[in-house]
Amino acid sequence: MVKRVNPKVAEVFNKYPDDIHEKLMFLRKLVLETASEADEVTAIEETLKWGEPSYLAKTGSTIRIDWKKSNPAQYAMYFNCKTKLVDTFRELYQNLFHFDGNRAIVFDIGDEVPIAELKHCILLALSYHKRKHLLLLGA
């Protein structure tokens, strides 16, 4: 798998408070791991969209991760709100994750992240264009 990294992403990560930096780097690690494990993902690009670390694969929909000063006890993984992604995640994992409308999975600082389930959501996003016609994205 080919990984392209924009050096400006590291600058953004380094501006987060230490505890948030650690949480967001963990989400980053899960995205990159999932991409490397997925047969349908041959390349991933790490870049900035709206000033936020973002991950793009030709086979999928953009994933962004961020923390907002206005809500310091939470951080989130964002998805394109015009897709079926978050609605599908809610159907599959309504008791595991907290959602922000149809655009994000939101984590509280003290949450233990359910790794296998989040990686499944990431896989569905990174392969969205191949799955969007399937019921529950083929989950």
State the DSSP string of 76-93. Answer: EEEE-TTSSHHHHHHHHH
Whether residue 136 is contained in a domain is answered as no
Phi, psi of 87 (to 5 degrees): -60, -40
In angstroms, the CA 10 to CA 85 distance is: 27
Question: In the structure encoding, which two tokens stand for residue 82, read together?
Answer: 């015009």
| Residue 139 banded pLDDT, cuts 50, 70, 90 | confident
What would the pLDDT profile of 38-62 be if each residue is shown by its tens digit? 998 999 999 999 999 999 999 999 9
**48 - beta bridge partners?**
53
| Residue 137 within a domain | no
Residue 62, domain CATH: 3.90.1150.200
Distance from C-alpha of 5 to C-alpha of 76, rounded to nearest angstrom: 21
Task: Check whether 131 has a pLDDT greater than 90.
Answer: no
139 inside domain: no
Structural domain including 96 reads: 2-131
* Burial of residue 22, with CB atoms counted within 10 A of its CB: 0-12 exposed, 13-18 middle, 19 or more buried: exposed
Q: In sequence order, what are the residues at sequence separation of 6 or more whose Cβ sits closer than 8 angstroms to the Cβ of residue 77?
A: 27, 63, 64, 65, 104, 105, 107, 118, 121, 122
Q: Checking DSSP bridges between strand 74-79 and strand 63-67, what pairing results, if any?
A: antiparallel
**Is 114 among the domain residues?**
yes
pTM of the complete model:
0.94
Q: Is the pLDDT of residue 2 over 90?
A: no
From 39-43, 70-74, 132-136, the region with the lowest mean pLDDT? 132-136
**Is residue 34 in a domain?**
yes
Q: How many domains does the chain have?
A: 1
